[in-house]
Amino acid sequence: MMRLATWNINSVRSRVDRAVDLLTREDLDVLALQETKVKDAMFPVAPFLEAGYEVAHTGLNQWNGVAIVSRVGLEDVATSFANQPGYGEPPAIEARAIGATCGGVRVWSLYVPNGRDVGHPHYAYKLDWLAALRDDAAQWLSADASAPIVLVGDWNVAPLDTDVWDPGFFAGKTHLTPPERAAFSALETAGYTEITRELIPAEHSYTYWDYQQLRFPRNEGMRIDFAYGSPALRERTTGVTILRDERKGKGASDHVPVILDLD
């Protein structure tokens, strides 16, 4: 058995107590974090170690940052995937992907670029980033079709109109455009299944609510946190839980954890 969660924590230093509470309360074996917003040297490792967990993290500045927290081992840590594109001039690899083998499962914590605006260079970067991930993920399965691999995180894509409270609000904006949706669904052609949709097909099962304009009380959210699993990983997945209540209370992240139960 394994319990694995993904969570855009939106600053690990601000919410380390919430993270440790989540680990113990939900009896998690692995927690993939995104948007840690901290350099490696400043990551608050001690509370996780005290709770019995190891930490692998990559963070270069106060932006981005991804981590994997595990009590079932952290092996073969990679702080980017092989063909991960960079951004800027000259292009630099950002802290948006970290992989590790935890209890025999290859886990990738991913923070997909936002895209900013349609037509912005960051939008092209987002599409390139997803395409490179798809190609590398296909190679991983080509090398070992039986490998248990899971790609989790904040994908910054709402694949269906029912994944947002009002599709009209996003007309001409990022997250719902056909190229983004095509890049997201291309992971299926690499042999992966988006597990959370399969096990929680309900409409308006949001994972993110903006802090502004009372989005959470009005349930004006988005579903943008997902988990793509290899065939072997999908066979082991027995349940998925979206912890909506984690958005409540003082100091909550704007995202909530999504938990996968594996047999």
pLDDT in tens, the chain (263 residues): 999 999 999 999 999 999 999 999 999 999 999 999 999 999 999 999 999 999 999 999 999 999 999 999 999 999 999 999 999 999 999 999 999 999 999 999 999 999 999 999 999 999 999 999 999 999 999 999 999 999 999 999 999 999 999 999 999 999 999 999 999 999 999 999 999 999 999 999 999 999 999 999 999 999 999 999 999 999 999 999 999 999 999 999 999 999 999 99
Task: State the DSSP code for 40.
Answer: G
Give dist(CA 107, CA 63) in Å, integer.
Answer: 22
Token pair of 48, please? Answer: 């996780």
Q: Tell me the pLDDT tens digit for each residue of 96-126.
A: 999 999 999 999 999 999 999 999 999 999 9
Give dist(CA 59, CA 18) in Å, integer.
Answer: 20
Q: Which residue has the tokens 């080509």?
A: 142
SS3 185: helix
Query: Nearest to residue 193, comparing CAs of 142, 244, 144, 137?
Result: 137
Contact 93, 17 (CB under 8 A): no
* Angle ∠(213,216,222) on CA atoms, nearest 5: 100
**Is domain 2-262 classified as CATH 3.60.10.10?**
yes
Token pair of 15, please? Answer: 């919410």
Whether the full predicted model's pTM is greater than 0.85, yes or no, is yes
Interhelix angle 178-185/121-143, nearest 10 degrees:
10
Give dist(CA 86, CA 83) in Å, integer.
Answer: 9
* Phi, psi (degrees; rounded to nearest 5) at 68: -130, 125
Rounded to whole angstroms, what are the CA distances from 219 to 61, 72, 141, 152, 213? Answer: 32, 36, 38, 23, 11
Which residues touch 82 (CB under 8 Å, ≥6 apart)? 136, 139
pLDDT at residue 201 in the model: 96
Contact 243, 259 (CB under 8 A): yes
Give dist(CA 203, CA 118) in Å, integer.
Answer: 26
Contact 193, 228 (CB under 8 A): yes
pLDDT at residue 109 in the model: 99
* Phi, psi (degrees; rounded to nearest 5) at 106: -85, 115
Query: Nearest to residue 33, comparing CAs of 2, 60, 52, 58?
Result: 58
Give dist(CA 201, CA 196) in Å, integer.
Answer: 8
Task: State the DSSP code for 186.
Answer: G
